[in-house]
Amino acid sequence: MSQQWWRDAVIYQVYPRSFADANGDGMGDLEGIRSRIPYLSKLGVDAIWLSPFYASPQNDAGYDVSDYRAIDPRFGDLDDFDRMLADAHEAGIRLIVDLVPNHSSSEHVWFKAALASAPGSPERERYHFRDVDPAAPDTPPNNWQSVFGGAAWTKTPDGRQWYLHLFDPSQPDLNWDNPEVHEEFKSVLRFWLDRGVDGFRIDVAHGMVKAEGLPDTGGDGSIEMIGTTQAPFFDQDGVHDIYRTWRPVIEEYEGDRIFVAEAWTDSAERRALYLRPDELHQAFNFDLVLAPFQSADFRKAIDSEVANNAGVGAPCTWVLSNHDVQRHVTRYGGGVQGLARAKAATQLLLSLPGVVYVYQGEELGLNEVLDLPAEVREDPTFFRTNGEQIGRDGCRVPLPWAKEGPSLGFGSNGSWLPQPGDWPAKSVEAEDGVGGSTLEFYRQAIAVRKAHRATGLTWLEDPGDNAFAFDNGALVSVVNFSDAPVPVTGYGTEVLLASAPLVDGNLPAGSTVWFKK
Ligand code: NOJ
């Protein structure tokens, strides 16, 4: 069967500010990424998803874009980008870039022009402005709350109008009822497609269209980025019309390029709507990010994704960590147990049919850093909730590449967030070539997966309570979510890979084994 690469790829998320710092300014950059492509090649990944590197005031770590066609000088320039892309392609690694169409930065020329123009002007029509009501000057136009905390409306400096921002006030929402916005983003797509990128991850892909008249939400209007269900600003049906105009654009280009949606929906059914053949290729499935480490929860999420995506002919996607959520080692309890479970869950994902996303550093077994001092934190969530929500900095701490050095090989100086004292032992240098290390486990697991590509999923009899087994057409995968060993002798004789060694035919607590069929 001729297989499109994106149907079963392993895609590695690079978070540029925290991956590798070539120029020693404490923040990662494109040249740093380029220098580490051999590492990614050895890991065996098929593609990189690169979080935003565009010109940006960095109020939301680059998800506040002031120029969609320029590289932030902190990360390099367009020549650096081209060199990095060429090296990735040379190594057989594809590159997906992040597109942020729901909002721009308030430093974008369009927003600056809007503020400099009068209410009702075409410049203001590119965003969502509403008049301040003189009878209730402090009451925003509706009850919507920002994902980062506080009202989703801020007044213009002259106090005459409000503008909408579902995220930080420095991230005004674009008005997708305006044809100019559509034309601009199609042009931005072409700009990067012409440079050779292999696709786009679409930020807040479920958010661009707002319900007619911007009605109040139910309840108190508060929203969560993770897990918010359909709302007047999320998962509106009209958003699909946008993707139907984007698909023909990407289809004009050779090379099997793709769109992947960050679309938080309240069900796998609604998520699959984004994946209809004339819309997007993939949508992140965050169900396993939200699922506790329990076989019933995992199985339910897996079944639902498989059934719904089959209905639209799209691949399943599997995600455990990214730059917005607590790292899965820590979610599963941290320490030895957390790491064991994290490896078991990762090995499970790598045996499922579909696409697996790996977040930088999970291949080293990195934990969430929970004790960052307030003064080094940068996530707007922390500040807009007055520290009530700790925010996402803890999963964004720069990678440790070496056992020593000012930023453990991340760069030649410090790093924008401090690394914990026990990370030298989790560095690439400490794990590379060392049997039993998490890094070697990931390398092996990805290699075995490639040699045994899943073609389906048939559940087998459970080996015990809180454990399951399935045949993916190429191997048998058995996962023990419980706290006690389970017997697995009935599933195969030749072990292809085990996240923890079997003991007398038993699979230890919190581990996964693959048997040859
Ligand atoms: C989702 C991104 O993953 C997150 O990091 C960002 O803060 C919001 N979208 C807003 O762009």
How large a percentage of the chain has pLDDT more than 90? 95
Q: Is 252 part of a structural domain of the chain?
A: yes
Beta strands in 231-336 (DSSP E): 258-261, 282-283, 317-319
Tell me if residue 514 falls in helix, strand or coil.
strand
* Co-location of 250 and 320 in the same domain: yes
CB neighbours (10 Å) of residue 419? 21
- pLDDT at residue 225, rounded to an integer: 64
**Hey, which of 324, 326, 385 would you mutate to test ligand 1's pocket, going by the most ligand atoms within 8 Å of its Cβ?**
324
Domain count, the chain: 3
Answer with the one of 380, 409, 442 that is the final residue of a domain: 442
- pLDDT at residue 464, rounded to an integer: 96
- pLDDT at residue 363, rounded to an integer: 99
Q: Which two tokens stand for residue 86?
A: 């060429």
CATH of the domain at 485: 2.60.40.1180
252 included as an active-site residue: yes
* Co-location of 326 and 475 in the same domain: no
| Residue owning tokens 């820590």 | 330
Confidence of residue 498 (pLDDT cuts 50, 70, 90): very high
Cα of 434 from ligand 1 centre, angstroms:
36
* Co-location of 257 and 340 in the same domain: yes
pLDDT in tens, 327-374: 999 999 999 999 999 999 999 999 999 999 999 999 999 999 999 999
224 included as an active-site residue: no
Mean pLDDT of 30-38: 98
* Co-location of 331 and 246 in the same domain: yes
Q: Is the pLDDT of residue 487 over 60?
A: yes
| Residue owning tokens 């109040």 | 216
What's the number of CA atoms in the CB half-sphere (13 Å) around residue 37?
22
* Co-location of 296 and 400 in the same domain: yes
**Nearest to residue 493, comparing CAs of 516, 460, 462, 468?**
516
Answer with the one of 442, 463, 497 that is the final residue of a domain: 442
- Residue 60 is part of which domain span? 5-105+176-213+221-442
Q: Is the pLDDT of residue 2 over 50?
A: no
> From the centroid of its chain, how far is CA 473?
28
* Co-location of 475 and 435 in the same domain: no
Q: Is 44 part of a structural domain of the chain?
A: yes
Q: Which of the residues 194, 220, 252, 461 is marked catalytic? A: 252
Mean pLDDT of 65-81: 98
Mean pLDDT of 90-98: 98
Confidence of residue 3 (pLDDT cuts 50, 70, 90): confident
Mean pLDDT of 433-459: 98
pLDDT in tens, 453-472: 999 999 999 999 999 999 99
**Nearest to residue 329, comparing CAs of 388, 395, 402?**
395
Answer with the one of 408, 442, 476 that is the final residue of a domain: 442
Q: Is the pLDDT of residue 431 over 80?
A: yes
Strand bridging mode 475-480 / 467-471: antiparallel
Q: List all residues whose CB is within 6 A of at least one atom of ligand 1.
A: 60, 63, 100, 167, 203-204, 262, 323-324
* Co-location of 121 and 187 in the same domain: no
- pLDDT at residue 228, rounded to an integer: 57
Which residue has the least CA distance to atom 3 on ligand 1?
324
Q: Which two tokens stand for residue 373?
A: 């001092």
* Co-location of 148 and 230 in the same domain: no
pLDDT in tens, 203-261: 999 999 999 999 998 877 677 666 656 789 999 999 999 999 999 999 999 999 999 99
> How far is the C-alpha of 423 from the C-alpha of 117, rounded, in Å?
51
**Nearest to residue 63, comparing CAs of 417, 323, 370?**
323
| Residue owning tokens 């992140």 | 284
Q: Is 450 part of a structural domain of the chain?
A: no
Confidence of residue 267 (pLDDT cuts 50, 70, 90): confident
Q: With contact defined as beta carbons under 8 Å apart, do 494 and 516 qualify?
A: yes
Supply the mean pLDDT for the chain. Answer: 96
**Hey, which of 170, 203, 323, 381 would you mutate to test ligand 1's pocket, going by the most ligand atoms within 8 Å of its Cβ?**
203
- pLDDT at residue 1, rounded to an integer: 39
Q: Is the pLDDT of residue 125 over 70?
A: yes
Cα of 204 from ligand 1 centre, angstroms:
7
Three-point CA angle 380, 168, 51, nearest 5°: 70
* Co-location of 123 and 226 in the same domain: no
pLDDT in tens, 290-315: 999 999 999 999 999 999 999 999 99
Cα of 100 from ligand 1 centre, angstroms:
9
